[in-house]
Amino acid sequence: MEYTKGEWKLVQPASRQIEVLGYTGMIATLRLNSLMTPQEIQANAHLIATAPKLYEGLKDALKEICKMCVRLNPQHKGCTSCEEMERSREPLLKAEGGK
């Protein structure tokens, strides 16, 4: 999956706007409107800025869970998909443009 690597950070160039920036430029712009409070805009911006770390963290966690699963269930060695893990994989698939 290709996305803008590195830290994503927040900047507030105007009082009614927050931008999420990567090292190559703007990732997203969030503007205050009548549908969301400033606190919701801020929370959404923080969530977007954290997305790369959340994505990588989930991938790492699923790998570790699979390793533990194989240790406890040797019959799963070589398994590419466990029924129990499918729900956990859904956010990764969505982030990669699937489902």
- The Cα–Cα gap between 33 and 3 comes to 28
Does the pLDDT at position 7 exceed 70? yes
pLDDT score at 36: 83
pLDDT score at 87: 76
- The Cα–Cα gap between 33 and 9 comes to 22
- The Cα–Cα gap between 89 and 81 comes to 9
pLDDT score at 4: 79
How far lies 44's CA from each of 20, 27, 37, 60, in Å? 10, 13, 11, 24
What are 80-92's pLDDT values in tens digits? 667 767 777 788 8
pTM of the model: 0.72
What average pLDDT score do residues 67-93 get? 76
Query: What's the chain's length in residues?
Result: 99
What are 17-56's pLDDT values in tens digits? 899 999 888 899 998 887 888 888 889 999 999 988 988 8
- The Cα–Cα gap between 1 and 56 comes to 11
Using only C-alpha atoms, the chain has a radius of gyration, in whole angstroms, of 18
